[in-house]
Amino acid sequence: MTRSVTAVGGFVPPPYPYDRLDDLKPAAEALPGGLVDLSIGTPCDPPPAVVVEALARSDAERGYPASIGSSAYREAAAGWLARRLDVSIGPAQVAACVGTKELVAGLPQWLRLRQPHLDTVLYPAISYPTYAMGATLARCRAVPYEHIEAIESADTERALCLWVNTPGNPTGALADLETAAAWGRACGVPVLSDECYVEFTWSGPPRTILQHGPDGVLAVHSLSKRSNLAGVRAGFYAGDADLVRYVSELRKHAGFMVPGPVQAAAVAAWGDDAHVDEQRTRYRHRLELMRSALRSIGVDAPAPDGAFYLWAPAPDGDAWALTRRLAEQGGALVSPGEFYGPAGAGYVRVAVVQPDDRIELVAQRLTDAS
């Protein structure tokens, strides 16, 4: 007797959101100059030369790297927190992760091992899809919230964790981290703060939940956006000493390790701020370029408070119609807001991650088609 590889009633992964854009690519690619992909936040600019040099010459290829990160890695991350975010936290409260998406997707599973009687992950109603998927993969309830104060007590009692994201993807909004930290401590719920766009905060100074103390919270940071290093997969989490210790021990048993050469490159990246300041200037300029392009077709996308996305309201609330128009007339691939939850329907997200000349090409095409 043979058994089906896929058990009846077993989990079947849903379509990956961005794969749903494939049908729009041929029309954009057919335009002179080809497709301009503004759908995913993949950096296009080069990382600093000092980082590439450290990656190539680390001499760290042979041995197994420390799962929690080398002392130099954790000290560099702690130094960056102190220098850029005015937070003093010891390296013992910092641990490495392989980028941050795997951490976001995995944390609910690991936290549930710690508290198996809890089964609910709370996350922003308009947000990065992996918060909800992480809950699903952990066999938890994925419960969106619009305002922390409005979370129902029944959900709070079952909450394994609460996610905040600031600056937010896709909207660029800034969360009230002080309120989130206080709510978590009052309710006994760990608050997980995804802060990977913190260096691209446009309204006021950059902020982290750690500015309100480490107890009961984890801040999650990445080099992917900050240093144009999405391909090397390097990040860290920091905060509550007990949480950091528990999660890092689980990850050690599972063999999660940032490769040694990547750790060496990350030390160089966390230690250099000049390249980030240059990148901030690039993204500010591109945001304004794309805002102007959208205005040319009657779409008024407000300037975000942070991150490098425009959250643009679609005419008549038809996000797919605007997505098709931008692909067919502008050659630009963007993301309908429903990818980020039902509350995002009626908007599109535009990632200004292409060089200036490519965004200018989209603008010219849209002007010519109007």
Residue ranges of domains in the chain = 17-46+275-369, 49-270
Q: Smallest Cα–Cα separation from 73: which of 241, 221, 255, 216?
A: 221
Average pLDDT, the chain: 95
Residues 6+ apart with CB under 8 A from 3: none
Check: CB of residue 300 under 8 Å from CB of residue 89: no
- β-strands 36-37, 94-97: how paired? unpaired
The rounded distance, in Å, linking the Cα atoms of 325 and 225 is 28
The rounded distance, in Å, linking the Cα atoms of 216 and 228 is 30
pLDDT above 70 covers what percent of the chain?
98
Q: How confident is the model at residue 51 (pLDDT cuts 50, 70, 90)?
A: very high
Mean pLDDT of 176-204: 98
Q: Does domain 49-270 have CATH number 3.40.640.10?
A: yes
- The 10s digit of each residue's pLDDT in 150-174 is 999 999 999 999 999 999 999 999 9
The answer to whether the 17-46+275-369 and 49-270 domains have the same CATH topology is: no
Asked whether the bond before 170 is cis by omega within 30 degrees of 0, the reply is yes
The rounded distance, in Å, linking the Cα atoms of 217 and 161 is 10
Token pair listed for 119: 């089964």
Alpha-helical runs (H) found in the chain: 25-29, 49-56, 71-85, 101-114, 130-137, 153-157, 177-187, 223-226, 241-254, 260-270, 274-295, 319-330, 356-369
Let me know if 109 is exposed, middle or buried by CB neighbors in 10 A (0-12, 13-18, 19+).
middle
CATH fold for the domain made of 17-46+275-369 = Aspartate Aminotransferase, domain 1 (3.90.1150)
Q: What are phi and psi of 5, to 5 degrees?
A: -60, -40
Q: Smallest Cα–Cα separation from 267: which of 29, 27, 70, 90?
A: 70
The rounded distance, in Å, linking the Cα atoms of 329 and 318 is 16
| pLDDT score for 306 | 98
| pLDDT score for 370 | 79
Report CA Rg, the chain: 21
Q: How confident is the model at residue 10 (pLDDT cuts 50, 70, 90)?
A: confident
- The 10s digit of each residue's pLDDT in 318-354 is 999 999 999 999 999 999 999 999 999 999 999 999 9
* pLDDT exceeds cutoff 90 at 147: yes
The rounded distance, in Å, linking the Cα atoms of 203 and 191 is 23
* pLDDT exceeds cutoff 50 at 1: no
Model confidence, pTM: 0.94
